[in-house]
Chains A and B, each alone.
Chain A
Amino acid sequence: MDQKDNTLKVTVSRGTSGEQFEQEFEVPAYENQTVLDVVSWIQQNSDPTLSYRFACRVGMCGSCAMMVNGEPRWTCRTHVKKVVRKNTLSIAPLRNLPVVKDLAADMTPFFDKWVDAEGYHHPTRTRHDPMQEVTPNDEERNRANAGIECINCAVCYAACDTVANNDAYLGPAALQRAWTLYNDQKNENGQAILDAVSRDGGCHSCHSMGSCSLYCPNELDPMSAIAGLKRETAKNLFRRRR
């Protein structure tokens, strides 16, 4: 990597929830550099007490999402030159989540809501049964496939204003997971999913602002998945009345 003679001015949010403050660092600017590289450089060269989270560095694990210049991003796949403004960067922990320390957000509420949305596998068969056949071109399968690449990074959760304003709201990722499972032939008890997502804070709390689909780093479309849940829960209401 060629080092340019200029440096980046990086403002980093430090501290825990309720006791946060900003600290400025100067970081050497390189031609090819991700936001995660910048954070790692600070931790390795300026301040070893800086806390942040990452694992795979290739956009698969969903650990390293942070707010970069006010926008939620996966930092390992975000090039500095795409987001830098006048040689400055502002890096903060993910919005809408408590902060463990510095740039590490506490993901507990995020994952708790996956469980609340019944966003886990409800098996149809035991190990003694033959494997469930899945038809690849089936319409239902395609709906399930649409959301299957979610890496649980919580970028959508941080982008969503409904999450910010409604503590009970399950959030785009959990609801998209529920929709994926609802359409999965290997998953049973779809009724439990519909019940879970039609409670207070469920899919009907979504205002279709679309920030989730705009910011999803894997270009998934949680807003449309939530719209699918809205349709199915409404149809389900009429089915039950009959």
Chain B
Amino acid sequence: MRPERTHPLWLAYMLHRWSGIGLALFLPVHFWMLALAITDAAQFDAFIAITDLVIVKLAEFGLVFLLAVHMFGGLRLMALEWLPWSAPQKTLAAGAVGIAFFISGTFFLQAV
């Protein structure tokens, strides 16, 4: 990799792009599946059976990961470009979001 690409902001940019492409590829399939639930119950059930496969379950982890990094990447970009904050303010804000996410995630897991 080119040396000027080995810093966090460039990697965040790449992660945001690739997660976006991944989601763009997934969403049409997702909507098609939802459509099948209404139009063709038998085919929908056949598809749902595939989700029992371990590899599909693992892929779902990937999907959640893509959604998470794309959402936080988007929030990061909006904060970066729309809020004229100083660097320490940004660090504090990112820390606060991280801690809030961790605490709410813990409660959520207990609820489930």
Tell me the A residues contacting B by CB distance below 8 Å: 69-72, 159, 161, 207-211, 214-215, 223-224, 227-228, 230-231
Contacts and interface: CB of A to CB of B under 8 A. Distances in A.
A223 B82 CA distance: 12
Given A208-B9, A210-B10, A230 B4 contact: no
Interface residues of B, number: 13
B5 A161 contact: yes
B80 A71 contact: no
Contacts of A161: 4-5, 10
B70 to A, nearest CB: 15
| Interface majority SS (helix, strand, loop, mixed), chain B | helix
A211 B81 contact: no
Contacts, number: 45
Task: Please provide the 6 A-B residue pairs with the shortest distance between their CB atoms, ordered closest to farther.
Answer: A210-B9, A227-B81, A209-B13, A70-B3, A209-B10, A159-B4
Nearest to A162: B13
A230 B9 contact: no
Contact of B81 (A70, A209, A231): A231
Contacts of A70: 2-4
A216 B10 CA distance: 15
Given A208-B9, A231-B84, A215 B77 contact: no
Nearest to A230: B81
Given A210-B7, A214-B9, 15 more contacts: A69-B3, A70-B2, A70-B4, A161-B4, A161-B10, A208-B13, A209-B9, A210-B13, A211-B9, A214-B4, A214-B7, A215-B4, A223-B9, A227-B80, A227-B84
Contacts of A224: 84
B78 to A, nearest CB: 11
A68 to B, nearest CB: 10
A contact patch SS:
helix
B4 A231 contact: no
Contact of B3 (A71, A209, A227): A71
Given A227-B84, A230-B81, A231-B81, A211 B10 contact: yes
Nearest to B76: A208
A209 B2 CA distance: 14
Interface string B82-112: 1010000000000000000000000000000
Q: Of residues A71, A72, A208, A214, which shows the largest number of chain B Cβ atoms within 10 Å of its Cβ?
A: A208
A71 B4 CA distance: 6
A154 B94 CA distance: 32
Contacts of A209: 9-10, 13
